[in-house]
Structure 1
């Protein structure tokens, strides 16, 4: 019989978590995989409580809604850049000029920058004036 469970852990502060770039957040796909794995491996004699299941589905729905809001906010923020001056580094070149437009690809937002109308991913913009 097991009398005692010993765990060895060392508490870490929030600032240490922020410094660690390997810490990832749980995305929609990972959450769904985790839920499916939990359902597949549950004890048939003690199935998941319906309240717990509903709570997990609600959490999944919230994660999905937050991701959608994040996309919409990115779109609105990028449209706001039109007409502003920006500086970007892309493929080891520096681009500078007025943002002429915005391009929405499948998973990336880019801006049309300068007189050359270079298509630059928004993540490569270093400065906005």
Structure 2
């Protein structure tokens, strides 16, 4: 009996979302795991220990992403009422913004600080003072 070992993994990346920092996310990890299960050799299936280890990695990745999101929320909230300095990129030009943080908001998974009439990405902050 012949077993097909030529697998096609191209569909794994179709319509997948890449995070803003071009890193694989939990959705990409899950798609790879499902594809691996679909294409495993029935006469030599994946070792159950290996499968459990991959599920543990998936769970760890998800929890790390949740912690990172929570950390960014706390970081943004802690800046309300403080004076900041930030370098923001506007069409290739770097602009320095300084002022008091009046409010924060979250858009597309990223936190922004309202400084006067300017919306500053949280990651653009370079200095904080009272």
Q: Distance in 1 between matches of 2:46 and 2:70?
A: 35
Matched, 1:121 2:129: no
Structure 1 counterpart of 2:76: 78
In 2, distance between residues paired with 1:77 and 1:121? 12
Distance 1:55 1:93 in 2: 46
Secondary structure of 1:58's counterpart equals helix
Q: Structure 1, unaligned stretches of length 5 or more?
A: 1-23
| TM score, norm. by length of structure 2 | 0.70
Runs of 4+ deviating beyond 2 Å: 24-27, 49-52
The CA RMSD measured in Å over matched residues stands at: 1.9
Aligned equivalent of 1:67, options 60, 65, 68 = 65
Q: Name which of 54, 58, 73 aligns with 1:56.
A: 54
Question: How many residues of Structure 1 are paired with residues of Structure 2 in the alignment?
Answer: 104
- SS of corresponding position for 1:98: strand
What residue number does 2:29 align with? 31
TM-score normalised by length of structure 1: 0.70
- Any conservation in 2 of the 1:100–1:117 contact (CA below 8 Å)? no
